[in-house]
Structure 1
Amino acid sequence: MIGNVAFFWRGLASLCLLSSTATAFYLPGVHPETFEKGAEVPLKVNALTSTKTQIPRDYYRLPFCQPEGGPNMASENLGEFLTGNKIQSSPYHINMLTDVYCQKLCQVTLSKLQASKLKLHIKYGYHNNWIIDNLPSAAIGLGQKGEQRKRYAGGFPIGFTATDNGLPYIYNHVNINIDYHGYELGYRVVGFAVEPLSVAHRFQGGYKWVGNSAEGMAKPLDTCSTTSHLSRDDIALSQLVQDDEEIIYTYDVIWHESPIEWSSRWDVYLSEDHLVPAQVHWYSITNSILVVLFLSLLVISILVRNLRRDIDAYNALAALADEEKDEEADETGWKLVHADVFRPPQQQPMLFCVLMGSGAQLAITVMMAICLSAVGFLSPARRGSLMLAMLVIYVLSGVAAGYLSSRLYKAFRGRHWQVCTIMTALFFPGMSFGIFVFFNLILWFLHSVASAPFLDVLIVAAMWCGVSIPLVFLGAYFGYKAEAIEFPTVTSTIARAIPPPPNFFLQPRVGMVLAGIIPFVAAYVELFFIMTSLWMDQFYYVFGFTLIVYLIMIITCAEVTVLLVYYQLCAENHRWWWYSFFCSGSTAMWTFCYSIIWFKQLEASRMLMTYLLYFGYMFLICFGMLMVFGMVGSMTCLWFTRKIFATIKVD
């Protein structure tokens, strides 16, 4: 026994450590790039993002410098398009180990419209997202105490609003800091950070650059040096954003040798330079495990003791002669509903089967995606890989959805199996696709890069119609061909009347609402980090912890629901199908309530689209949680009721 417990805890620790060890290697397809001294190191720009609006923008829609001949699009996969990535070339010229001092890029004279756009984007806190050798740019800025610090997620701001006069200023100079590590064949990029600075540039001797002449590129500036890198202390005046303002964009390139190996260069991004100690996740996991252990002991002690007593009493009474039975007290408890407990749901049995099948499909998708991420198959170095993997897994899991919904519908003796299968194939995917297309049209109207191209929308639709729907029908075919689920008791023709609940807590609606609190509390801390990653552009890669939390939520949902269904049966309430579904599924309700409170952390703009995006997608996520955990609770209770009613003797 002690050996088994030790093995369990060693396995648990190993599972948690997957989240850190998975960052130390790269799978085939992500190869290191080695540069020779002086070789060009391309700098690419991604979409501008803002946590306040949640609406990504094209980098070149603002008055920034463009490369000669215009920007070129980088090759992107479907997942990148669906997650709002738009990676393009840039005009910055960077060469390996070559420092650059006060390099002029271009000059832009702001029109009224351009100045208005810049002011608006600075107000809404938009950030640049640059990429060198597949590494996102960290931001170098000042902390609350004036110390220099790095932020490894979310890019760096395009400007700032002065606290004293409320005027907008643009960061028109950047110090591009690149860390490199030497190898036998050359050098590799292992770090990338940008320090944005705002400086009102002026030429020596009062020279005026029209912005399109080569002469201006050679003229020296009074505001920065060609022999030393620009620092905050060198800046006398920041660059104001206003109509007809002439903005000169410049940059420095600073190379630093680093002991960090190429295989470990993502570690600092994923840990946010240890901004959140790993102990926070460990404490959360430990507390959640303690909750599960306590709940398991409680459920086992209550159910085992009560069920053993009930079963012995029922079987002893069944063994008595008829005249002796009359002398015994009347039967009470869950045995009285033996002729009704397996009666199909009184309301919407087909919808119940559809939700159960859809929940199984989503549960498999989430489990597979978390496991693949935990072992490193879905790396953040592959942008959009998680989204693409979840889409593919979800489509292929249609077999499970069709199989489970058909098995249940056959057990309920439903006659419209074709309708049930079609509903399973269309209900949740159709709702998700409809919301996606609706938001995509609005984002396209707002000129946001978050709007997926029409071709990619067609690809998603083709995957749904050409792969997912046929697989749902394939699963339903095997489900209807399989033997019907056998119930240990015979269902009577007339349903038994349900007496009023004996107390407040046994009222079905009360149980449905309160049951989801325990699973939600068990996942609360990890949910906070997931929400932060989802809506605040933070990296999240501790999927070992996520996997454990997901399993803990499944276990707690199952245990709480079984316990509550047992008490409902004891109260002679045989309508447990929907009750069990909503008991465990109410975790989604508490998650949605939490998302309403958490929304304040975004400091979101008052744009209607921001509210629609946030609450629309959170509703979709929570509805998915309802189906997943509702399916878990109902399937556990189906197993539980079949077990206990198979142990008693019924006339």
Structure 2
Amino acid sequence: MPGICSVFLLVVLFAHSCHGFYLPGSYMHTYSTSDTIVAKVNSLTSIETELPFSYYSLPYCKPLGGIKKSAENLGELLMGDQIDNSPYRFKMNVNESLYVCTTSPLNEHEVKLLKQRTRDLYQVNMILDNLPVMRIAKQNGVSIQWTGFPVGFTPPNSNDDYIINHLKFKVLVHEYEGSGVQIIGTGEEGMGVISEADKKKASGYEIVGFEVTPCSVKYDPEVMTKLHMYESISPVNCPLELDKSQIIRERERISFTYEVEFVKSDIRWPSRWDAYLKMEGARVHWFSILNSLMVITFLAGIVFVIFLRTVRRDLTRYEELDKEAQAQMNEELSGWKLVVGDVFREPDCAKLLCVMIGDGVQITGMAAVTIVFAAFGFIKSTGAIPISLYFVLLSLWFCISVPLTLVGGFLGTRAEAIQYPVRTNQIPREIPARKYPSWLLVLGAGTLPFGTLFIELFFILSSIWLGRFYYVFGFLLIVLLLLIIVCAEVSVVLTYMHLCVEDWRWWWKAFFASGSVALYVFLYSINYLVFDLQSLSGPVSAILYLGYSMIMAIAIMLSTGTIGFITSFYFVHYLFSSVKID
């Protein structure tokens, strides 16, 4: 008893000395009144073309010190993000209206570019303290939220286009007083612990919201050009009349202005993403999971019957016979036991199958690790692709992937070969004719894994192509686990069915029984293109979409096919290792 008390006392003392820490993302920034905060701009994006463009590809105002790119991670670069500084700067808790700049007269190329970006529904994406700007509008009494704001707008039944040149920002701030909590930050500056000297700075204001109301305002360029950047102007009321809005046409000089209002909020820093990540679709995700559980239960019942009723019963009867009766029964056997001499015969294109299984293992492992890290919050979301990125990818390939592949091949050649439990006959057994092709059953099996993931697939496609946030990585992790179970069960059942009809060519069928889900994923992607991406315009955008969808489908095929094949292989190995053959 004294020993237990001592241990308990040590635990209490250790807990008292512990510090809380925040690991995912970047650590919390606090600002004092009048501290300068600079907004950043990301690539221009559109749901019509899916082709990102640099913010400064349009005739926008540039910062005084020049354009400076932010450090970006590999994922941002691959997604086409391009984060730069901007001329929009704010002073904490200082409400003001400021002038930015006036462009030179627009030439033909600039007018064409602005009109094209406006009609393609391009959005300007701004970031303040790692929060994307949000635009809130009301339609039929319902508040609708978007990230970003449009380059411009085209009134109905009009050939004229108008540019957004005045921005009304609202920054939500929460007053924070340091609590002595130790913080580990993993932001752009790298990982580190906030020092004692910085603890005094912990108190202040934290940014918990960033909203914008975009306007188009026609200014007198002669008056505006007399102003200097960041000179104060009168607050602007967004005009509703088109004659007071800034039209896009040649020889026009466009003045850019903005105003900012700081509003105190009860939202705390850990909850500031809730406005972006509202879980309105949680019920749909739970429906998907329950649907998958029903499929798993059904398939598990079939596998249970196979093992405990059919296989166990047959093996028991088979092993209880004496040698003479067993020899006589071998002539009368039917079903999977007849292919005992062919079941481990090398399949066609065996090397290709090995390569696909190896790729599938890598893809599955990578996906699992990524989703687990995302589900637990260890992934930071930090933009046209620079040429240096390709050298980074090549370095990753030649310095990591290729060496690991060679090491794996070396270890594989030195490892002992898998010993099959039965001998393979020299002459292949003839496979009985069937009324219908076995591939129909294999292709039909892919519907069960697809039923597990198609709801999550909709949200993922919406995140990639419609710019919506995907945040339910916990659901995605559950769906991944369910998908693995369904793929394993489907392949085992299909493999057993083929063996029962004396079809010993199960290798490729086991792979495609679960891998055929990729066909339905690709067909669903086409359905999504036709019915949900109706705004997507132009053959280039469609080809880009279909190309990415094909790559995704192939990756899913390799991953799910590998899961099904490995499970089926060990099932067949276990099944025939229980059979005694002289």
Find the counterpart in structure 2 of residue 245 from structure 1. 252
CA distance in 2, matches of 1:266, 1:580: 44
Letter in 1 for 2:394: A
* 2:405 paired residue among 472, 487, 494: 472
Q: Does 1:180 align with 2:167?
A: no
* Offset at residue 313 of structure 1 (A): 4.0
**Which deviates more, 186-195 or 105-114?**
105-114
Letter in 2 for 1:290: M
Q: Does 1:30 align with 2:48?
A: no
CA distance in 1, matches of 2:104, 2:305: 75
Change (3 A) 1:585 1:148: closer
**Could you tell me the TM-score, scaled by structure 1's length?**
0.78
Find the counterpart in structure 2 of residue 330 from structure 1. 332
Find the counterpart in structure 1 of residue 82 from structure 2. 86
CA distance in 2, matches of 1:557, 1:457: 35
* 2:431 paired residue among 485, 489, 498: 498
- Contact 1:107/1:246 (CA < 8 Å) preserved in 2? yes
CA distance in 1, matches of 2:49, 2:394: 28
* Offset at residue 264 of structure 1 (A): 1.8
- Contact 1:106/1:250 (CA < 8 Å) preserved in 2? no
Equivalent residues in 2 for 1:153-302, closer than 5 Å: 153=147, 155-184=148-177, 185-199=203-217, 201-203=218-220, 208-209=221-222, 212-214=225-227, 226=234, 228=235, 230-231=237-238, 237-271=244-278, 274=279, 276-302=280-306
Change (3 A) 1:71 1:213: farther
Letter in 1 for 2:575: I
Letter in 2 for 1:32: M
CA distance in 2, matches of 1:308, 1:476: 38
CA distance in 2, matches of 1:615, 1:147: 34
Find the counterpart in structure 1 of residue 311 from structure 2. 307
Higher helix share: 1
Unmatched runs of 5 consecutive residues or more in structure 2: 1-19, 178-202
- Contact 1:107/1:209 (CA < 8 Å) preserved in 2? no
CA distance in 2, matches of 1:537, 1:232: 29
Letter in 2 for 1:269: Y
* 2:529 paired residue among 583, 593, 599: 599
- Contact 1:230/1:252 (CA < 8 Å) preserved in 2? no
**Which deviates more, 477-486 or 588-597?**
477-486
Find the counterpart in structure 2 of residue 150 from structure 1. 145
Find the counterpart in structure 1 of residue 544 from structure 2. 613
CA distance in 2, matches of 1:95, 1:296: 62
Paired residue secondary structure (1:567): helix
CA distance in 2, matches of 1:627, 1:327: 41
CA distance in 2, matches of 1:478, 1:60: 51
After superposition, give the CA deviation of every residue in 1:36-73 in whole Å (9 maximum; x if it has no partner): 11111111111101121111101111121222243222
Letter in 1 for 2:173: Y
Find the counterpart in structure 2 of residue 416 from structure 1. none
Paired residue secondary structure (1:523): helix
* 1:624 paired residue among 550, 555, 569: 555
CA distance in 1, matches of 2:472, 2:21: 15
* Offset at residue 550 of structure 1 (A): 0.8
CA distance in 2, matches of 1:618, 1:486: 40
**Could you tell me the TM-score, scaled by structure 2's length?**
0.87
Find the counterpart in structure 2 of residue 95 from structure 1. 91
Question: How well do the aligned residues superpose, as a CA RMSD in angstroms?
Answer: 2.5
After superposition, give the CA deviation of every residue in 1:584-619 in whole Å (9 maximum; x if it has no partner): 100111101100110132235443331232111211
Q: What is the percentage of aligned positions where both structures have the same residue?
A: 37
Change (3 A) 1:215 1:328: closer
- Contact 2:96/2:232 (CA < 8 Å) preserved in 1? no
Paired residue secondary structure (1:41): strand
* 2:322 paired residue among 319, 322, 326: 319
After superposition, give the CA deviation of every residue in 1:286-329 in whole Å (9 maximum; x if it has no partner): 2211221122123322443222333234335x52526x955897
CA distance in 2, matches of 1:364, 1:465: 19
CA distance in 2, matches of 1:166, 1:307: 74
* 1:64 paired residue among 60, 64, 69: 60
Find the counterpart in structure 2 of residue 529 from structure 1. 459
- Contact 2:375/2:473 (CA < 8 Å) preserved in 1? yes
CA distance in 2, matches of 1:485, 1:327: 29
- Contact 2:101/2:225 (CA < 8 Å) preserved in 1? no
* Offset at residue 147 of structure 1 (A): 5.3
- Contact 1:36/1:187 (CA < 8 Å) preserved in 2? yes
